[in-house]
Protein backbone atom coordinates (compact mmCIF):
# COMPACT_ATOMS: atom_id res chain seq x y z
CA UNK A 1 0.00 0.00 0.00
CA UNK A 2 2.81 2.37 0.91
CA UNK A 3 4.72 1.53 -2.29
CA UNK A 4 1.60 2.17 -4.37
CA UNK A 5 1.10 5.54 -2.64
CA UNK A 6 4.72 6.56 -3.23
CA UNK A 7 4.53 5.59 -6.90
CA UNK A 8 1.30 7.53 -7.35
CA UNK A 9 2.88 10.60 -5.71
CA UNK A 10 5.87 10.33 -8.04
CA UNK A 11 3.55 10.16 -11.05
CA UNK A 12 1.61 13.20 -9.87
CA UNK A 13 4.79 15.19 -9.31
CA UNK A 14 6.26 14.34 -12.72
CA UNK A 15 3.00 15.28 -14.49
CA UNK A 16 2.55 18.56 -12.62
CA UNK A 17 6.10 19.71 -13.41
CA UNK A 18 6.54 18.04 -16.79
CA UNK A 19 8.38 20.94 -18.43
CA UNK A 20 10.80 21.27 -15.52
CA UNK A 21 11.35 17.52 -15.47
CA UNK A 22 12.20 17.55 -19.17
CA UNK A 23 14.58 20.45 -18.52
CA UNK A 24 16.32 18.46 -15.78
CA UNK A 25 16.67 15.48 -18.12
CA UNK A 26 18.14 17.59 -20.92
CA UNK A 27 20.55 19.54 -18.74
CA UNK A 28 21.70 16.34 -17.04
CA UNK A 29 22.13 14.72 -20.45
CA UNK A 30 24.27 17.59 -21.78
CA UNK A 31 26.38 17.99 -18.63
CA UNK A 32 27.12 14.26 -18.26
CA UNK A 33 27.87 14.04 -21.98
CA UNK A 34 30.63 16.60 -21.40
CA UNK A 35 31.81 14.69 -18.32
CA UNK A 36 31.85 11.41 -20.27
CA UNK A 37 33.60 13.05 -23.22
CA UNK A 38 36.33 14.39 -20.95
CA UNK A 39 36.79 10.94 -19.39
CA UNK A 40 36.92 9.22 -22.80
CA UNK A 41 39.38 11.83 -24.08
CA UNK A 42 41.69 11.10 -21.16
CA UNK A 43 41.37 7.36 -21.88
CA UNK A 44 42.19 8.09 -25.53
CA UNK A 45 45.31 10.02 -24.50
CA UNK A 46 46.34 7.11 -22.27
CA UNK A 47 45.95 4.60 -25.11
CA UNK A 48 47.94 6.77 -27.50
CA UNK A 49 50.73 7.31 -24.96
CA UNK A 50 50.99 3.60 -24.21
CA UNK A 51 51.15 2.75 -27.91
CA UNK A 52 53.25 5.63 -29.26
CA UNK A 53 55.78 6.04 -26.47
CA UNK A 54 56.81 2.42 -26.91
CA UNK A 55 57.71 3.25 -30.52
CA UNK A 56 59.54 6.50 -29.78
CA UNK A 57 63.02 6.89 -31.24
CA UNK A 58 65.79 9.41 -30.68
CA UNK A 59 67.19 10.58 -34.01
CA UNK A 60 70.79 11.77 -34.14
CA UNK A 61 71.03 13.64 -37.45
CA UNK A 62 74.57 13.76 -38.82
CA UNK A 63 76.09 16.67 -40.70
CA UNK A 64 75.37 17.03 -44.42
CA UNK A 65 77.77 18.87 -46.69
CA UNK A 66 76.00 22.26 -46.51
CA UNK A 67 75.04 22.67 -42.82
CA UNK A 68 75.60 25.97 -40.99
CA UNK A 69 75.86 24.37 -37.54
CA UNK A 70 79.14 24.88 -35.64
CA UNK A 71 79.52 21.14 -35.17
CA UNK A 72 79.40 20.78 -38.97
CA UNK A 73 82.12 23.33 -39.71
CA UNK A 74 84.31 20.62 -41.23
CA UNK A 75 81.66 19.68 -43.79
CA UNK A 76 79.91 16.34 -44.12
CA UNK A 77 80.33 13.89 -41.26
CA UNK A 78 83.37 11.64 -41.62
CA UNK A 79 83.69 7.95 -40.86
CA UNK A 80 85.90 8.76 -37.87
CA UNK A 81 83.23 11.07 -36.44
CA UNK A 82 80.55 8.41 -36.98
CA UNK A 83 82.67 5.94 -35.03
CA UNK A 84 83.20 8.43 -32.20
CA UNK A 85 79.44 8.95 -31.95
CA UNK A 86 78.85 5.20 -31.98
CA UNK A 87 81.47 4.68 -29.27
CA UNK A 88 79.78 7.38 -27.14
CA UNK A 89 76.45 5.57 -27.47
CA UNK A 90 78.10 2.25 -26.56
CA UNK A 91 79.65 3.69 -23.39
CA UNK A 92 78.82 1.70 -20.21
CA UNK A 93 76.97 4.62 -18.57
CA UNK A 94 74.69 5.05 -21.62
CA UNK A 95 74.22 1.52 -22.96
CA UNK A 96 71.63 0.43 -20.31
CA UNK A 97 69.28 3.15 -21.60
CA UNK A 98 69.50 2.02 -25.22
CA UNK A 99 67.56 -0.93 -26.58
CA UNK A 100 68.67 -0.77 -30.20
CA UNK A 101 70.69 1.46 -32.55
CA UNK A 102 69.99 1.56 -36.27
CA UNK A 103 72.04 3.56 -38.78
CA UNK A 104 70.08 5.13 -41.65
CA UNK A 105 72.07 6.17 -44.72
CA UNK A 106 71.25 9.19 -46.86
CA UNK A 107 69.93 6.88 -49.57
CA UNK A 108 67.62 5.11 -47.13
CA UNK A 109 66.42 8.46 -45.77
CA UNK A 110 65.74 9.63 -49.33
CA UNK A 111 63.76 6.48 -50.14
CA UNK A 112 61.66 6.98 -46.99
CA UNK A 113 61.16 10.65 -47.92
CA UNK A 114 59.96 9.71 -51.40
CA UNK A 115 57.48 7.18 -50.02
CA UNK A 116 56.06 9.71 -47.59
CA UNK A 117 55.87 12.71 -49.91
CA UNK A 118 55.60 11.11 -53.34
CA UNK A 119 52.37 12.99 -54.07
CA UNK A 120 53.91 16.42 -53.39
CA UNK A 121 55.18 18.31 -56.44
CA UNK A 122 58.14 19.81 -54.59
CA UNK A 123 59.45 16.40 -53.55
CA UNK A 124 60.77 15.80 -57.09
CA UNK A 125 63.34 18.58 -56.62
CA UNK A 126 64.93 16.81 -53.64
CA UNK A 127 67.87 14.46 -54.03
CA UNK A 128 69.66 12.01 -51.75
CA UNK A 129 72.41 14.58 -51.15
CA UNK A 130 69.86 16.81 -49.42
CA UNK A 131 69.17 14.14 -46.79
CA UNK A 132 70.87 13.53 -43.44
CA UNK A 133 72.30 10.20 -42.49
CA UNK A 134 71.34 9.44 -38.90
CA UNK A 135 71.47 7.11 -35.94
CA UNK A 136 67.99 5.95 -34.92
CA UNK A 137 68.01 4.99 -31.25
CA UNK A 138 65.30 2.94 -29.57
CA UNK A 139 65.30 3.62 -25.81
CA UNK A 140 64.52 1.16 -23.06
CA UNK A 141 62.72 4.02 -21.28
CA UNK A 142 61.51 7.00 -23.39
CA UNK A 143 61.61 9.16 -20.24
CA UNK A 144 65.43 8.92 -20.27
CA UNK A 145 65.85 10.80 -23.54
CA UNK A 146 67.97 13.50 -21.92
CA UNK A 147 70.67 11.00 -20.91
CA UNK A 148 71.29 9.99 -24.53
CA UNK A 149 70.88 13.54 -25.82
CA UNK A 150 73.57 14.94 -23.52
CA UNK A 151 76.09 12.33 -24.69
CA UNK A 152 75.90 13.18 -28.41
CA UNK A 153 74.76 16.83 -28.47
CA UNK A 154 77.63 19.13 -29.40
CA UNK A 155 79.83 16.39 -30.82
CA UNK A 156 81.56 17.09 -34.12
CA UNK A 157 79.57 15.55 -36.96
CA UNK A 158 76.19 15.85 -35.16
CA UNK A 159 73.86 18.47 -36.66
CA UNK A 160 70.83 17.90 -34.42
CA UNK A 161 69.32 15.50 -31.90
CA UNK A 162 65.56 15.07 -32.00
CA UNK A 163 63.30 13.15 -29.65
CA UNK A 164 60.05 12.00 -31.28
CA UNK A 165 58.45 12.00 -27.86
CA UNK A 166 58.58 15.80 -27.77
CA UNK A 167 56.53 15.90 -30.97
CA UNK A 168 53.91 13.65 -29.38
CA UNK A 169 53.92 15.72 -26.20
CA UNK A 170 52.73 18.76 -28.16
CA UNK A 171 49.76 16.77 -29.44
CA UNK A 172 49.01 15.43 -25.98
CA UNK A 173 49.21 18.96 -24.56
CA UNK A 174 46.50 20.08 -27.00
CA UNK A 175 44.36 17.05 -26.09
CA UNK A 176 44.86 17.68 -22.36
CA UNK A 177 43.69 21.27 -22.82
CA UNK A 178 40.65 20.01 -24.73
CA UNK A 179 39.94 17.72 -21.77
CA UNK A 180 40.14 20.67 -19.37
CA UNK A 181 37.77 22.65 -21.61
CA UNK A 182 35.28 19.79 -21.68
CA UNK A 183 35.62 19.41 -17.91
CA UNK A 184 35.02 23.14 -17.38
CA UNK A 185 31.89 23.09 -19.53
CA UNK A 186 30.74 19.96 -17.71
CA UNK A 187 31.17 21.69 -14.32
CA UNK A 188 29.06 24.65 -15.46
CA UNK A 189 26.35 22.37 -16.80
CA UNK A 190 26.37 20.26 -13.62
CA UNK A 191 25.77 23.39 -11.55
CA UNK A 192 22.85 24.20 -13.86
CA UNK A 193 21.53 20.66 -13.42
CA UNK A 194 21.71 20.93 -9.62
CA UNK A 195 19.85 24.25 -9.68
CA UNK A 196 17.17 22.84 -11.97
CA UNK A 197 16.70 19.73 -9.85
CA UNK A 198 16.43 21.91 -6.75
CA UNK A 199 13.88 24.19 -8.42
CA UNK A 200 11.83 21.26 -9.71
CA UNK A 201 11.67 19.60 -6.30
CA UNK A 202 10.80 22.91 -4.62
CA UNK A 203 7.93 23.54 -7.05
CA UNK A 204 6.71 20.00 -6.60
CA UNK A 205 6.80 20.35 -2.82
CA UNK A 206 4.97 23.70 -2.90
CA UNK A 207 2.28 22.36 -5.23
CA UNK A 208 1.55 19.53 -2.78
CA UNK A 209 1.56 21.45 0.47
CA UNK A 210 -1.97 20.26 1.24
CA UNK A 211 -1.03 16.57 0.85
CA UNK A 212 2.15 16.88 2.90
CA UNK A 213 0.24 18.80 5.58
CA UNK A 214 -2.28 15.96 5.90
CA UNK A 215 0.56 13.44 6.07
CA UNK A 216 2.14 15.42 8.90
CA UNK A 217 -1.15 15.38 10.84
CA UNK A 218 -1.52 11.60 10.56
CA UNK A 219 2.03 11.06 11.79
CA UNK A 220 3.91 10.19 8.61
CA UNK A 221 7.69 10.10 9.02
CA UNK A 222 10.01 12.62 7.39
CA UNK A 223 11.47 9.97 5.10
CA UNK A 224 8.03 8.81 3.96
CA UNK A 225 7.04 12.40 3.07
CA UNK A 226 10.31 13.24 1.34
CA UNK A 227 10.85 9.96 -0.55
CA UNK A 228 8.52 10.70 -3.52
CA UNK A 229 10.22 14.05 -4.12
CA UNK A 230 13.67 12.49 -3.90
CA UNK A 231 12.73 9.77 -6.35
CA UNK A 232 11.32 12.30 -8.82
CA UNK A 233 14.70 14.05 -9.01
CA UNK A 234 16.58 10.76 -9.13
CA UNK A 235 14.41 9.42 -11.97
CA UNK A 236 14.83 12.56 -14.08
CA UNK A 237 18.60 12.63 -13.48
CA UNK A 238 18.95 8.91 -14.21
CA UNK A 239 17.08 9.27 -17.50
CA UNK A 240 19.43 12.12 -18.43
CA UNK A 241 22.48 10.01 -17.56
CA UNK A 242 21.21 7.08 -19.62
CA UNK A 243 20.72 9.42 -22.58
CA UNK A 244 24.29 10.66 -22.09
CA UNK A 245 25.62 7.09 -22.07
CA UNK A 246 23.59 6.33 -25.19
CA UNK A 247 24.87 9.45 -26.95
CA UNK A 248 28.49 8.61 -26.08
CA UNK A 249 28.02 5.01 -27.23
CA UNK A 250 26.60 6.12 -30.58
CA UNK A 251 29.37 8.71 -31.00
CA UNK A 252 32.13 6.18 -30.34
CA UNK A 253 30.51 3.46 -32.46
CA UNK A 254 29.73 5.51 -35.55
CA UNK A 255 32.12 8.48 -35.46
CA UNK A 256 35.23 6.85 -34.03
CA UNK A 257 35.05 3.11 -34.74
CA UNK A 258 33.22 3.16 -38.09
CA UNK A 259 34.52 6.47 -39.50
CA UNK A 260 37.90 7.36 -37.98
CA UNK A 261 38.82 3.73 -37.42
CA UNK A 262 38.47 2.91 -41.12
CA UNK A 263 40.12 6.09 -42.44
CA UNK A 264 42.96 6.47 -39.90
CA UNK A 265 43.56 2.96 -38.65
CA UNK A 266 47.00 3.35 -37.06
CA UNK A 267 45.70 5.12 -33.94
CA UNK A 268 44.45 3.00 -30.99
CA UNK A 269 40.98 4.46 -30.41
CA UNK A 270 38.60 4.21 -27.47
CA UNK A 271 35.82 1.67 -27.99
CA UNK A 272 32.26 1.15 -26.85
CA UNK A 273 33.71 -1.05 -24.08
CA UNK A 274 35.35 2.08 -22.69
CA UNK A 275 31.98 3.83 -22.78
CA UNK A 276 30.53 0.99 -20.71
CA UNK A 277 33.40 1.44 -18.25
CA UNK A 278 32.51 5.11 -17.82
CA UNK A 279 28.72 4.53 -17.79
CA UNK A 280 28.34 3.41 -14.12
CA UNK A 281 30.20 6.52 -12.93
CA UNK A 282 27.93 8.80 -15.00
CA UNK A 283 24.77 7.14 -13.68
CA UNK A 284 26.13 7.22 -10.12
CA UNK A 285 27.02 10.90 -10.49
CA UNK A 286 23.49 11.69 -11.68
CA UNK A 287 21.88 9.91 -8.74
CA UNK A 288 24.31 11.56 -6.30
CA UNK A 289 23.55 15.03 -7.69
CA UNK A 290 19.83 14.38 -7.42
CA UNK A 291 20.19 13.07 -3.86
CA UNK A 292 22.21 16.08 -2.69
CA UNK A 293 19.84 18.54 -4.37
CA UNK A 294 16.83 16.78 -2.88
CA UNK A 295 18.17 16.70 0.66
CA UNK A 296 19.09 20.38 0.59
CA UNK A 297 15.69 21.42 -0.77
CA UNK A 298 13.46 19.06 1.20
CA UNK A 299 15.06 19.88 4.53
CA UNK A 300 13.54 23.35 4.14
CA UNK A 301 10.23 22.73 2.35
CA UNK A 302 8.95 19.48 3.88
CA UNK A 303 9.85 19.74 7.54
CA UNK A 304 7.76 17.58 9.80
Instruction: Give the Å distances, CA to CA, from 15 to 211, 233, 234.
Output: 16, 13, 15
pLDDT for residue 244: 92
Which band of pLDDT confidence, cut at 50, 70 and 90, is reported for residue 13? low
Q: In the predicted model, what is the mean pLDDT of the chain?
A: 76
**56-163 topology per CATH:** Alpha-Beta Plaits (3.30.70)
Contact present, 72 and 63 (Cβ < 8 Å): yes
Which band of pLDDT confidence, cut at 50, 70 and 90, is reported for residue 9? low
Of the ranges 162-176, 178-192, 213-227, which is most confident? 178-192
**pLDDT (tens digit, 9 = 90+) per residue, 254-287?**
888 888 877 766 678 888 999 999 999 999 988 8
CB atoms within 10 A of CB 101: 17
pLDDT for residue 191: 80
**pLDDT (tens digit, 9 = 90+) per residue, 123-168?**
667 777 778 888 888 888 776 777 888 888 888 888 888 876 666 6
Dihedral pair phi/psi, residue 60, rounded to 5°: -100, 100
Which band of pLDDT confidence, cut at 50, 70 and 90, is reported for residue 5? very low
What's the rounded Cα separation, in Å, for the pair 191 and 187?
A: 6
DSSP secondary structure, the chain, as one string: -HHHHHHHHHHHHHHHTHHHHHHHHHHHHHHHHHHHHHHHHHHHHHHHHHHHHTT-EEEEEEP-TT--SGGGTTSSPPHHHHHHHHHHHTSTTTGGGEEEEEEE-HHHHHHHHHHHSTT-GGGGG--GGGSPPEEEEEES-GGGHHHHHHHHTT-TTEEEEEEHHHHHHHHHHHHHHHHHHHHHHHHHHHHHHHHHHHHHHHHHHHHTHHHHHHHHHTT--HHHHHHHHHHHHHHHHHHHHHHHHHHHHHIIIIIIIIIIHHHSTTS----HHHHHHHHHHHHHHHHHHHHHHHHHHHHHHS--
Query: Taking the domains of the chain in order of start, what are their residue ranges?
Result: 2-52+169-301, 56-163
Burial class (CB in 10 A: 0-12, 13-18, 19+), 135: buried
Amino acid sequence: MRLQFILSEIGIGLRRNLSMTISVILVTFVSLTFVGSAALLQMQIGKMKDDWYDKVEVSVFLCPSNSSEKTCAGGEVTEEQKQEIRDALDAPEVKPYIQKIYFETKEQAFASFQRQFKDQFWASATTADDMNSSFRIKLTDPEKYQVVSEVVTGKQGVEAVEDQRRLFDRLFLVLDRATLLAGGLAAVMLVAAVLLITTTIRLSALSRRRETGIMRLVGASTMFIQLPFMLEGAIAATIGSLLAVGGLWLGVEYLITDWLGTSVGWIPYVTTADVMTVAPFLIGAAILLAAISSLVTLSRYTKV
